[in-house]
Each structure stands twice: as C-alpha cells, then as structure tokens.
Structure 1
Amino acid sequence: MRDLRDIDTVGVVGAGTMGAGIAQVAATAGYDVLMRDVEAEFVEDAFDRIEDSLDRLVEKGEVDADDRGAILDRIVGTTDLADFSQTDFVVEAAVENMDVKRDVFAELDEEVPDGVPLATNTSTLSITTIAAATEREDRVVGLHFMNPVPVMKGVEVVVGEKTSDEAVDLAHDFAEDLGKETWESDDKPGFVTNRILMPWINEGIRAFDEGVASKEDIDKGMKLGTNVPMGPLELADHIGLDICLDASETLHEELGDRYKPAYLLKRKVDAGDLGKKTGKGFYEYDEDS
C-alpha cells in the first residue's frame, strides 16, 4: 500500500461543488490535480468556482496572493477517465447515485494502476457496495468532505467491509495533509454526520411547516441554544435542498420512518428552490449574501 510520499498527482472525479472544492484544497496543499467531469463546460464552471473561492480567501488573508496562480496551475481539467492512469490517489465526487458511482469505480478500476487507492466522497451510500464494483475492494475507502470544502475543517473517513487498515491510515494521512481533521465511521447508513444531521434538519423544516416558529426564530434558537454556527433551515439551504432530500430518502429506505423526509423539503425541491445555489430556498440569496 502506498503512503503520502508516493502521492504526487491526485485525481478528482466530478467537478461539481464538492469536486471543485476537493481539487482546490489538494492543489493548495501542493499536489498536482487532475479534475474530470463528463462535459468540458462542467470542468470550466469548476475552474470559475475555484477562482472565485481563491479570490475570497486572498481577500481574507488566508491564501497569499502570490500563491493563487500557482494553485490554479496545479489543476488540469479533463473529460477522459483514461487520463487517470497517471494518478497516485483518486477521490470520486460524482452525483450521489449508487449506479453512477459503481459505474465510475468499475471504469476507474480499469484505468487506474492497481496499487492506487480509490476514495469516494459519498455522504450516505455504502462504501462496501461501491467497492464491490472493483477488483481492489481492500483499497476503496470513504473520504467524506464537508461543504464548503475549502472552509470546513472536518473529513469523515468511512471503513468498508473489506477496506484495509493501510487504506484507512492513508485516507486519514491524506486528509490531514490537506489541513483537515478526521474522524472515523463504520460503513453504516449515513455514517456519523448525516445519520445525526438529516433528522435535525428535517425536524427544523417540520417545525417551520407546522408553525412552531418563524424560520428566523428556529435558526436563531438553535444557534443560540446549541452554539452551532447555522440553524437547520439555513444549513439546509447551504447544503442544497436536493442533496438533503436525496440523503434523507436514502436513510429513510435503510433505517425506517424516523428518517422520512419532511413534506416541505420535497415541495421545495419540486419547485426548484434548492437553496443558496439557486438563489432561493427557505431564504433568498444574492451574490453578496
């Protein structure tokens, strides 16, 4: 099994919000990054997001202005998974769909050298089931970054049924080399974070829908009462209501009615009000909010 000294080039599959964030923090840590998505325009959009993120971090003094260009130069975009034959560690951040992830991992297994570990950023899906699409189940591990990746310090390392101790250790070491702190979870539905977070968000939505309090007071009460930085409705907007719904439905299927998504969450997603990324969720957003 490889260690950090063997990793020069990191492959990131998926150039959405999470994939772009993972590519950014890996490049900031000094790794060369190959970022892939199915369409060139998705890759271009990811570079725009990374540039905007770096600009904000430069304004805050968290990234040196002289380093901005070098970070961007370390990221290369592609639409071809065959290019991943040159990678030393891969993080998959495709859509949260088991069929899609298994297809991606089966293809990665063909293209990526045998000794290279494959990590998935899934937030709810089984690492064991994803790994079974490959011939390297011992080298498949969960590496669940939090959103937004450049800001959030935590990464959840998830251990599949056949994940080796060496792969788990490397996942911890890699995340910590990116400046993150890690915790570990067994491969159970929702892992640690979403198993606890999704019911909290759903109950906040139900409380609002049932008229317990205004959305502002629900969020304010939870922030002041529990010392969290965001209340459940604000956090749901930030994550994306469609992502919250997908996670809740997966947990509902696996764990029963205590994880049933709130009706208002489904209604918002059906209406296309997905939160901050669409400009409207439970709150409304503009570029400065």
Structure 2
Amino acid sequence: MAQTGRRPTGDEKRPLIDRVLGSPIAGLSPWIVLSLLAGPGRIEEAAAITLGMSVGLVALSKWRGQSVKLLELSDAIFFLVLLVAAATASDETADWLENWVGELSNIALVLIVLVSIALRNPFTLQYAKEETPPEVWETPLFIRINYVLTWAWAGAFIAAALAGAFGNLVLDNFNNLWTGWVIQTAAIVFAIQFTVWYPDHATGDDTRSVTAGLLAPLAGWLVPVGVLVFVFDAAPWWVGVGFIVGGAALSHQLADEGQATPATGGPTPT
C-alpha cells in the first residue's frame, strides 16, 4: 500500500512481517477473527483469542521497531473489556453479548476512527509512515490522502453497523445473511480496495478508470455471495445465479479494461 503513490526505495525487500504489520489490515485482523469465532457459547473464548492477538500485535510492533498504533492499543482495550464482561456475565447478559457483539464491534471501530480524526491523527497515518520516507510525512498530499482513507474506513464501519442494526432491530434476525454478512463484507472489501487504489490514483500513478481500480475485488466477491445464497437458501435460486454470472462477467470486463489502460507503475521520475 503506497500511501503517497510512491514506495520508499527497497520497500519490496522489507521482511514480510514488517509489511504485514505496516498495513491497517493487521490492526483489523482481531476484529475479523472475532466475527468468525463469536457464536452461541463461544463469546468468552473468542474474546480471549482476539485479546491474545491484539497483545501479540503490539508486542510484534515493538519487537520489529515499529510504532505502536492507536488501532492496536484500542484493540487490546476493547477485547480485554469484552473478555471481562463475558467471563463475569450472567447467562442472560452472555446471550445478549453473543447476539450484539458484531454491532458492538462495528460501533467501537467507528468511534476509534472518528476519535483518530478528531485528534488530527487519522489512524491510517501511522501505518503510512511505516512505508514512506520521513520527508513526505508533513506534505499536504500525504496528509490529505490519509484523511480520505480514514474517512473511507469510517464510512465502511458505519455501513456495516447500520446493516447489522437493521437485521437485528427491524428484521429481528440476528443471523440474516444479507445484513449480517453480505452488506458488511461488501463495505469492508470496498474499504480495503480503496486503501490500495486511492493513493496511487491521487498522485496520478494509477491511470486506470475508477471502476477498474475500485470494483475488481467486489466483482470477484459477487461469486461467493451467489454460492452462499444457494447454500443457505437465502433467496430464490435465480438470485444466486445472477450473482455468480454477474460477478464473472464483471470481473472479465474489468480485467479487459485494466489491460486497455494499464497503470504507469514504477518509481516516480526525478
């Protein structure tokens, strides 16, 4: 992820662990794991595992000489509170936590992101500094790119929270495939791809169209959604077929468009 559209010299030779820790996805990984593990009778175990992951991320960052990120510290605090709450909760409260932990997570992430903006330290900025030379850190373009990226993540978390709340409160269905998984993962996939695409787009290093640059992963995501529609019988069969066929066709079209207008790539000439 080139936060200024230009990686520092030798970035491709950085150890894999440093590149992983230098991505916001690292800080978000405990939340992703929580969404996979949490379920009836598993909230305490899920909280313990994700707390361990969060503490491990902080320790790894310190060990590798990287800064400790606001997101990682917030991870550890949230999952510690969740673990204590799950371990001491009555059966009724534990049931409530199991049903609402997804929404609590989304709301917590929204608050973390908005607080980072309010503190004039958008959370992607700390990750971007791991991948860029110090001389660009105070440039208006670098700062603007990271504000845009952070707002994109805020929008994704808000969309996920609203979708989950609609399923829980309006549909009264805590396991609705569309509000609990499809819409929420679409928002996160979009934010991930936007984080990859926007910096190079903002600096002119990526000449692909907006559709080719942003929608390719979402097009591929349509296919597994179609499969899940069949597996969980979440809609009429033709809806699943439409997702699969539409995803394959859109992926093919965007691939052709990307080849027709390739990214410039490479280091910026000096």
| TM-score bucket (shorter structure) | 0.3 to 0.5
Larger radius of gyration: 2
TM-score by length of 2: 0.32
Higher percent of residues as strand: 1
TM-score, scaled to structure 1: 0.31
Higher helix proportion, which one?
2
